[in-house]
Structure 1
């Protein structure tokens, strides 16, 4: 069957069609479901085929995109086969790429080094340095830190402080995630496989980093995982409207991504263990509510 998908706003749908004998057949529904099947008989196979081409043209005008035949053929048989045939989807841009000039790179390095050196500071002073570092990274948004060794070292110096033994030496995990959201997702994958892989036993960040590691493993996509983790762990005081907008923007793509492996958004959210954290429980419930 030919397969078409529509992912936009809060919609994530598929539509499949074929001609079988004299029958025009469609299967349609939300990504992550097996969909509904309908058949309509015509006087001849040619008449059924003309109806199929007419409906395909309508779907294309509506914004549906055809999935490659290879992806559709690779779908598993059974009730979840239709959903699992989804093609890889590009996520909406997380940021606007900015030119990483030598001057901007150096400014970011100095800002990160200043943040890494700030120890025993009052929370407001540390937050001010965090915001300064975030703005410096915004000016080189999308940069790949590993392509600039001095920048990578400076960023690592900050990320390492997330798991510092002494409370006065720590950079908040949520603040560090805000820095990672300004650069290429390869930096998130690197720190999760390195500095943050094994936080000290009993460290306050251990549950959150365990959650981040689990989501990265479950989704197997650093970019998608970074966005989901940032939403799950965002500050309780973060504006609810902004959080909801970011979730609604990414959720159809997450749903489509999960459908490729025969899973669903409901199952995925149900697999997240909040470990009794009321804030995390609230975020999961908000995601369920859409």
Structure 2
């Protein structure tokens, strides 16, 4: 127990503080006597510790001298760490179901038909992509093995060299959004490092590593690749989907010590005007 004494003129007294959990105890009186004992109970150990330190400082200002070093006051009981804020729950991209063999076959045929349309007019490609997307939606978010070879071959058409028919990135991501995220991961492995990859594609591919979460990267990529003002697209729908994704992105980046604004600012638009516009909308 620490002990403080004040000896001056006719005064000769001592003061000894002590902490026991949330109780602050003081023994004081004339030197040479047992003194008196007082106890004060506080709501918690932290409050008692603050009072202990306050009174010690007060006695030192009054001229008391510590005559025994004693033990330092016991550390207050550790404060329980606040419960981590639960991460926002992402709504499912598709309704889960077990596809039939016929639905799987139909999806593979729709993808094959889409690949055969590449090089035709853009509206024809977009129309067949919508058909393929509806067929994939019936797979209930699965990634069935009979569909994979056709799908992977089609994803390879996204990075065809200039002059050869390509599958637009926005259409490719629309297809992948109907399947298990494993299909997106396979596609990004194909796209990574492709010499002919356009700027938006490089940005989407980098997001898989930058975020460390393929599901978030896929959803963000779909929004980044959607061209503003495109016929058949809805800006209101785009904003609604962005507002739905934003809380999950913010929470994910916050746990890694970052922020959404910093993350979006680090995405290189590479002079691509539509991508720059989408990034500006996300940061607005």
Question: Shorter-normalised TM-score: what interval?
Answer: 0.5 to 0.7
Deviations 1:86-124, CA, capped at 9 Å, x for gaps: 566542222212321111000001111111222432222
SS in 2 for 1:107: helix
1:161 correspondence with 2:153: no
3-state DSSP of counterpart to 2:147: helix
Residues in 1 aligned to 2:122 and 2:201: alpha-carbon distance in whole angstroms: 22
- CA-CA distance at 1:43 after TM superposition: 4.8
1:266-286 CA deviation, whole Å, 9 max, x = no partner? Answer: 211121121222211211121
Return the offset for 1:21. Answer: 5.9
- Is 1:229 paired with 2:221? yes
The answer to which structure, 1 or 2, has the higher relative contact order (CA under 8 A, 6+ apart) is 1
Q: Assess, with a 3 A threshold, how the Cα gap between structure 1 residues 267 and 107 changes in structure 2: closer, same or farther.
A: same
Q: Secondary structure at the match of 1:228?
A: helix
Task: Please give the TM-score of this superposition, normalised by the length of structure 2.
Answer: 0.68
Superposed CA deviations along residues 182-230 of structure 1, whole A, max 9, x for unmatched, are 001111111112x21122x3x2x43222211221111011100000011
Residues paired across the two proteins, number: 211
**CA RMSD of the aligned region, Å?**
2.6
How far apart, in 2, do the equivalents of 1:96 and 1:263 lie? 32
Match of 1:174 in 2: 170
**Unpaired runs of 5+ in structure 2?**
1-20, 24-40, 48-79
Confirm or deny that 1:129 pairs with 2:121: no
Partner of 2:202: 210
Give the aligned partner of residue 99 of structure 1: 98
- Which residue of 123, 142, 151 corresponds with 2:147? 151
Residues in 2 aligned to 1:120 and 1:210: alpha-carbon distance in whole angstroms: 22
Q: Within 5 A, what are the aligned runs for 1:1-290?
A: 43-45=42-44, 90-143=89-142, 145=143, 148-165=144-161, 167-193=163-189, 195-199=190-194, 201=195, 203=196, 205-236=197-228, 237=230, 238-289=233-284
Q: TM-score if structure 1 supplies the norm length?
A: 0.66
3-state DSSP of counterpart to 1:150? coil
Post-superposition offset of 1:167 = 4.0
> What is the rounded CA distance, in whole Å, between the counterparts of 2:116 and 2:150 in structure 1?
10
1:154 is paired with a residue whose SS is helix
Q: Shift in Å at residue 169 of structure 1?
A: 2.1
Distance in 2 between the 1:106 and 1:248 partners? Answer: 36
Query: Quick check: 2:177–2:218 contact (8 Å CA) kept in 1?
Result: yes
